[in-house]
Amino acid sequence: MTEIWQTLVTYLQFPFVQYALIVGLLVALCSSLLGVTLVLKRFSFIGDGLSHVAFGAMAVAGLLGVSNDMTVVLPVTVLSAVLLLRTGQNTKIKGDAAIAMISVGALAIGYLLMNLFPKSSNITTDVCTTLFGSYSILTLTLSDVILCGVMALIVITVFLLFYHKIFAITFDENFANATGVKANVYNLLIAVITAMIIVLAMNFVGSLLISALIIFPALSAMRVFKTFRSVIICSAVISVFCSAFGILFSIVIDTPVGPTIVAADILIFFIFSLISFFTGRSTKA
Amino acid sequence: MSTMQITCKNAALGYETGVVVKDLNFIISEGDYLCILGENGSGKSTLIKALLGLKPQLSGEIIFSEAIGKNEIGYLPQQTIVQRDFPASVQEIVQSGCMNRCGLRPFYNKQEKQLASDMMKKLEITHLARRCYRELSGGQQQRVLLARALCAARKMLLLDEPVTGLDPKAANEMYELIARLNREDKITIIMVSHDMNAAVKYASHILHIGGRQLFFGEKEAYLQSKVGKAFLEVSDMGGDEP
């Protein structure tokens, strides 16, 4: 036990571990804040869809030889988010079908492009890294950390400023509209910051696992807590805790970062489900 | 003569693709209890949107008096699936009715919090303030949403099928509560309903639509009219929708 502790302390002195922790915790915090709203609005899959779009955009960015992937990935993902959330209600192609279509399409085209115009000799590793994050979080530079910090700050500020509005339109969009709250504007806002979070989280846990980061803390918190505010706070705490645990665990035991964090999230979900099961029974009895 | 709050002149409502309901001519005055009757597809929900100012009329006029601004109608929408398992306390929900008073201010001020607790007191749900919305009974949930609507506007309430899904006792209580608000607080009520019996018992005016305006006037006149008698017969036979 002391041995593990020793290793941990040694690792924590390396800047790349510190960077990973800072970025990881910020991403976890942001995704959990939005997660509650997305789950309640029945948009759980949007994380999945958008991350696939981001994957496709990344492949295109590689193809174009853009020096910084972000300049392509962020606008494309934001645009897709706006389209998906806006057209959710009444279009010819229904919300879930639209998400499925766009996400699978982007994934296929992305992989196709990567194969046609390979950046490196080892495509399988490239793809695997993009999809599952693997160790890329441990190769972050200081500028990555600053970029992430700025984006996280924007997301958190927007969320705090519009907390009550986000609550109102999540709970009852019709009522909000009827009383003169511009629900569409706020839906757009939610779409944009969701896309930002996904681009942020992509380097961290990888395309395929982002949804887990968004939905698991929210679902766990909703098992036990009963007011909107406590659910949000609890989900943020769970998310940050699981990420910290996941990162440290993966450094010490040498496992891939993304899946380790998600595994921790799943574990917490089961624990909270059990708590809810037992407390639910005792109040009924 | 009480003051007019909404005047509808020759209004036609619908979408670009076609008119849903036309020839609307009615006046809603302060303290009225108007019941809007009609079958599914008769244009009720389109009319609601127009009254809430969410959808402009195709032709004709809908005039809101000075006292009733466009967004100052308290609205009690039908429950959505999202709300059934929503983790929120009663207080959070009632306060969200004050949203339109906030503008861009991110938090509620003292008056708004006070207003929310006053409305909870009025609807006798103060003891539920910290309870979770999804754990309440159907009748209690409707009271919560009614309190929220009252926070948004205190002169006029628009209720969309307010007793859907309630058991008969809770439905009755809900109707009595609405009637009390109308009687004691002089709140104008516009209720959209299938429930003919409730309309006959509580409403002061009836608006019956079905693609166009079939009847508008006081309840007594409606009961004597041809369309009223026909509709009443169908309802008595239990042919009405659940």
Q: Taking all residues of chain A, what is their mean pLDDT, rounded to a whole number?
A: 83
- Write out pLDDT tens, residues B88-104: 999 999 999 888 777 77
Size of interface A-B (CB pairs under 8 A): 90
> What pLDDT is attached to residue B240?
44
Chain B contact present for A226, CB below 8 A: yes
Would you call A226 and B89 a contact, using CB atoms and an 8 Å cutoff?
A: yes
CATH code, domain with A72:
1.10.3470.10
Q: What is the bridge-based pairing of β-strands B33-37 and B156-160? A: unpaired
* CB atoms inside a 10 Å sphere around CB A28: 28
> What pLDDT is attached to residue B50?
86
For the residues B5-27, what does the mean pLDDT come to?
Answer: 83
Q: How many domains does chain A have?
A: 1
- Write out pLDDT tens, residues B202-231: 889 988 888 888 888 888 888 888 877 777
Assess contact for A105 and A83: CB atoms under 8 A: no
d(CA A38, CA A198): 13
Does any domain span residue A280?
Answer: no
> What pLDDT is attached to residue A284?
41
Residue A87 has pLDDT above 80, yes or no: no
Q: Residue A130: which H helix or E strand, with range?
A: helix A123-132
Would you call B77 and A226 a contact, using CB atoms and an 8 Å cutoff?
A: no
Does any domain span residue A283?
Answer: no
Range of the domain at A216: 2-275
Does any domain span residue A87?
Answer: yes
> What pLDDT is attached to residue B241?
44
Does any domain span residue B217?
Answer: no
Does any domain span residue A285?
Answer: no
Chain A contact present for B132, CB below 8 A: yes
Does any domain span residue A195?
Answer: yes
Chain A contact present for B137, CB below 8 A: no
Assess contact for B149 and B191: CB atoms under 8 A: no
Q: What is the bridge-based pairing of β-strands B18-29 and B188-193? A: unpaired
d(CA A75, CA A83): 12
Q: What is the dihedral of CA A187, B41, B232, B169, to 10 degrees?
A: -30
Highest mean pLDDT among A9-13, B82-86, B180-184, B224-228: B180-184
Residue B225's alpha-carbon distances to A126, B215, B220, in angstroms, are 77, 8, 9
Contacts of B201 by beta carbon, 8 Å cutoff, 6+ apart: B175
Residue B77 has pLDDT above 60, yes or no: yes
- Of B85, B96, B132, nearest to A167 by CB-CB distance is B96
% of chain A with per-residue pLDDT over 90: 20
- Write out pLDDT tens, residues A60-71: 887 777 766 777
Q: Residue B10: which H helix or E strand, with range?
A: strand B4-15
Question: Which tokens in the block code for residue A260?
Answer: 């380790």
> What pLDDT is attached to residue A232?
94
% of chain B with per-residue pLDDT over 70: 93
> What pLDDT is attached to residue B93?
92
Assess contact for B182 and B33: CB atoms under 8 A: yes
Does any domain span residue B143?
Answer: yes
Chain B contact present for A175, CB below 8 A: yes
Chain A contact present for B52, CB below 8 A: yes
Does any domain span residue B52?
Answer: yes
Residue A205 has pLDDT above 70, yes or no: yes
Would you call B88 and A228 a contact, using CB atoms and an 8 Å cutoff?
A: yes
By three-state DSSP, how is residue A142 classified?
helix
Does any domain span residue A76?
Answer: yes
CA of A39: which chain B residue's CA is closest?
B82
Does any domain span residue B158?
Answer: yes
Residue A194 has pLDDT above 70, yes or no: yes
Q: 0.90 cut: is pTM over it?
A: no
Does any domain span residue A282?
Answer: no
Q: How many domains does chain B have?
A: 1
CATH code, domain with B190:
3.40.50.300
CA of A43: which chain B residue's CA is closest?
B82
Q: What is the ipTM of this complex?
A: 0.84
- Write out pLDDT tens, residues A94-121: 667 777 888 888 889 888 888 887 766 6
For the residues A266-270, what does the mean pLDDT come to?
Answer: 95
Q: How confident is the model at residue A281 (pLDDT cuts 50, 70, 90)?
A: low
> What pLDDT is attached to residue B2?
67
Does any domain span residue B204?
Answer: no
Q: Provide the residue type at A124 as one letter.
A: T
Range of the domain at B73: 32-195
- Write out pLDDT tens, residues A36-48: 988 888 777 777 8
Assess contact for B96 and B75: CB atoms under 8 A: no
Does any domain span residue A75?
Answer: yes
DSSP type of residue A172: -
> What pLDDT is attached to residue A234?
95
For the residues B7-21, what does the mean pLDDT come to?
Answer: 82
